Amino acid sequence: MFVRPALAVLAAALPLAAQSPARPVDRMARSFGAPGEPGYLGNVELTASYVPDSGIREGSVDLGNINTTQTRLKYTGTFISGGPVNWSMGVDVERFGFGLEKSSLLPTALGSVSLPLGVNWRINERWTFLSEVSPGLYSDFEDINASDFNAPLIAGFSYAINDNLLLFLQLSVDARRDVPVVGGPGIRWQFSRQWVLSLLIPRPRIEFRPNASWMFYGGAELAGGAYQLSTTHGTEKGDANFDDVNMTYREIRAGLGAVWDVGHGFRVEAAGGWVFDRRFVVDERNRQWNGEGAVYGRLQLGYRY
């Protein structure tokens, strides 16, 4: 998946850190692979978000309005070895649907089907290495061929200063993205029992947990990816130069959200705010489309076991 702007400073999140709720950081959460009993952890997430109509332009050309519907189903299984190395694998299916007011070169949908494969290696008491590669199809799914295949990579190190303060150095590599390599530092700091500062892409934020059932947060979230258009996309739109090209789509959002731990492994998350950057980029043709700001809403249902 695309590791979306704030691009100069931060890269992709280390998934286990980014998904952890604001609770005291125990040994397993700190090291992402501390020795313990072998086992298996499963996590399922179903997400939907919506950005209503707002204007979109290519340079000075007004293309009317666009709305965006995002849906995502993700399953991650983590194999706990009982030693310093844990493995994960899963399935990630995501789709962006675009409601376009006027005909243009923009697609009506972009999406991906990938099989994320990850490793967490606890090198020693303080250092941990994480890597995740996500081979799969990243496409408009109008036709499927070899050029739709991609395998974005996330890799990084964490350093535990203490049980409540972790530093990160992270890289995200995607040769088809308009910015192929991004990276930088990150931090997860639990500075009191109820508060956590988590500066990790794709969701840098500050979290407040008043009790065991609720967590509230404010911050940013990034969405999008790099996708291959069909071999006839441009021809069907009136410009054959856009046949079989790669397109990057990105959103940068800022807002507030809440997570409710319902119990028995179930949770519900709701968030809303403002999309202040929405764009399509075809780097190989030097073309870019920019959307105006708009509100957004997101709902996620999850289950852990």
Q: In this structure, is residue 273 part of a structural domain? A: yes
Q: What is the mean pLDDT of residues 176-198?
A: 92
Q: In this structure, is residue 297 part of a structural domain? A: yes
Q: Scanning the structure block, which residue is given the tokens 């258009």?
A: 229
Q: What burial class does residue 147 get, using C-beta atoms within 10 Å of its C-beta: 0-12 exposed, 13-18 middle, 19+ buried?
A: middle
Q: Is the pLDDT of residue 36 over 80?
A: no
What domain count does the chain have? 1
Round to whole Å and give the CA distance between 172 and 271: 26
Dihedral over alpha carbons 61, 67, 73, 76 (to 10 degrees): 50
Domain housing 98: 15-304
Q: What is the mean pLDDT of residues 183-196?
A: 94
Res 179: pLDDT: 84
Q: In this structure, is residue 165 part of a structural domain? A: yes
Q: In this structure, is residue 2 part of a structural domain? A: no
Q: Is the pLDDT of residue 35 over 70?
A: no
**Of 95, 99, 104, 56, the residue nearest 73 (C-alpha):** 95
Q: Is the pLDDT of residue 29 over 70?
A: no
pLDDT digits (tens, 9 = 90+) for 147-170: 999 999 999 999 999 999 999 998
CB atoms within 10 A of CB 80: 20
- The CATH number assigned to the domain holding 252 equals 2.40.160.40
Instruction: List, as one string, the DSSP characters of 130-197.
Output: EEEE--EEEE-SSS--GGGEE--EEEEEEEEEETTEEEEEEEEE-TTSSS-EEEEEEEEE--SSSEEE
Q: Is the pLDDT of residue 8 over 90?
A: no
Q: In this structure, is residue 215 part of a structural domain? A: yes
Q: In this structure, is residue 1 part of a structural domain? A: no
Q: Is the pLDDT of residue 132 over 80?
A: yes
Q: What percent of the chain has pLDDT over 70?
A: 88
Q: In this structure, is residue 227 part of a structural domain? A: yes
Q: Is the pLDDT of residue 31 over 80?
A: no
Res 103: pLDDT: 78
Q: What is the mean pLDDT of residues 232-241?
A: 94
pLDDT digits (tens, 9 = 90+) for 219-230: 999 899 999 999
Q: Is the pLDDT of residue 33 over 50?
A: no
Confidence at 184, pLDDT banded by 50, 70, 90: confident
Q: What burial class does residue 108 get, using C-beta atoms within 10 Å of its C-beta: 0-12 exposed, 13-18 middle, 19+ buried?
A: exposed
The contacts of residue 20 (CB under 8 Å, 6+ apart) are 29
pLDDT digits (tens, 9 = 90+) for 60-112: 999 999 999 999 999 999 999 989 999 999 999 999 999 998 878 999 999 99
Q: In this structure, is residue 7 part of a structural domain? A: no
Return mean pLDDT, the chain. Answer: 88
